A and B are shown apart, each in its own frame.
Chain A
Amino acid sequence: MSSYHPLARASGLAFIGLLSACHGQTDVARSAGSAQLGAITIGRQACGSCHVIPGIEGADGRVGPPLAHFASQQIIAGTLPNSPDNLKRFLKAPRAVVRNGTMPDLGLSDDQIRDIAAYLYELK
């Protein structure tokens, strides 16, 4: 993936290390995705310039749908039932799901997508 990715991951892990002083950097299990890392990726990818996203500084965009209460949203991208798999499918290739959609393909890694999903599903 991009060269920034390991840096972001390292800084994100350091960030988590700060948040929960009882966890060492290497202890973070990476199976389910981390909402804290998701928040960092969401900030770095400038998602907030198009979406309102609670908890993300400056995320007040009025281009795409607001992502408040994302977890209880029934349909995502206007066309898919809301499920983690469908969200990951959309984030991986938005314009394959909505052909003439404004949401661009951000080139996210699978880890980044898992982390973003973990964050969004915390927005009950």
Chain B
Amino acid sequence: MIADGTRRLFWGWLLGVATCALAAAIVVALILSGIIFNTSATQPHSKVFGWGMHVTMINSVARRSRGDVPTVPLTRETLMAGARQYEAHCIVCHGGPGVARAQWASGMLPTPPYLIDAPTRWSHAELYNLVHDGVKMTGMPAWGEVESDRQVAEVVAFLEVMPKMTPDQFARLRQRLRAEQAPQSTRGAP
């Protein structure tokens, strides 16, 4: 009797597992064939999916940011170096005080955020790791692949100072950076 009941329980369990496996296989097939997941950037994520991805990102960054990261002293030189990086690599997607992102950034999904309150959202180590390691499936590159740790630390230093600038100060800083980059011949021209 007991053995018979156990056997029936076993077959029932096996049937349940097989049904779940079949259902999972069908869902996976529907995803892989492009039927139930639209990868176009015109289609916003569902609220639950978008929320889940965002929370996962926040927690993943936090977990990887428990140790120490490189820091540079806040001097005029390091901040100008960071500003130069920000102007060259960051501002098109992230904008700045009084400065919009490039128009095409609004065509990205997820769309890159403005960073004026980034230092209140993220710790120093988190900002460093976000810049250094990038963020999968967002378009944020791992800048650590192409820049030195010091350069990453410099841009993070600038990020942490940027919210303290007025839009006018930020505009003057950008003018100065552009003047720096202008070829010597035009700068010295009469």
Contact = CB atoms under 8 A, between A and B. Distances in A.
A4 B100 CA distance: 16
A62 B43 contact: no
B186 interface: no
Interface in B95-111: 95, 97-101, 103-107, 109, 111
Interface in A57-88: 57-58, 61-63
B104 A50 contact: no
B50 interface: yes
A20 interface: no
Interface residues of B, number: 33
A43 B44 contact: yes
B51 interface: yes
B42 A58 contact: no
Given A7-B107, A45-B111, A63-B117, A102 B47 contact: no
Contacts of B120: 62
Interface of B: 40, 42-45, 47, 50-51, 54, 95, 97-101, 103-107, 109, 111-117, 120, 163, 166-168
B97 to A, nearest CB: 5
A4 B103 contact: yes
B107 to A, nearest CB: 4
Interface of A: 2-4, 7-8, 10-11, 15, 40, 43-46, 48-50, 57-58, 61-63, 95, 100-107
A61 B115 CA distance: 10
Given A15-B44, A46-B113, A50-B116, A4 B98 contact: no
A45 B43 CA distance: 15
Given A95-B98, A101-B167, A104-B98, A49 B44 contact: no
A43 B98 contact: no
A61 B98 contact: no
Given A11-B44, A95-B98, 5 more contacts: A2-B107, A10-B42, A11-B43, A44-B106, A105-B100
A45 B40 CA distance: 17
A25 B168 CA distance: 44
A100 B168 CA distance: 6
B100 to A, nearest CB: 4
Contacts of A46: 101, 105-106, 111-114
Contacts of B44: 11, 15, 40, 43
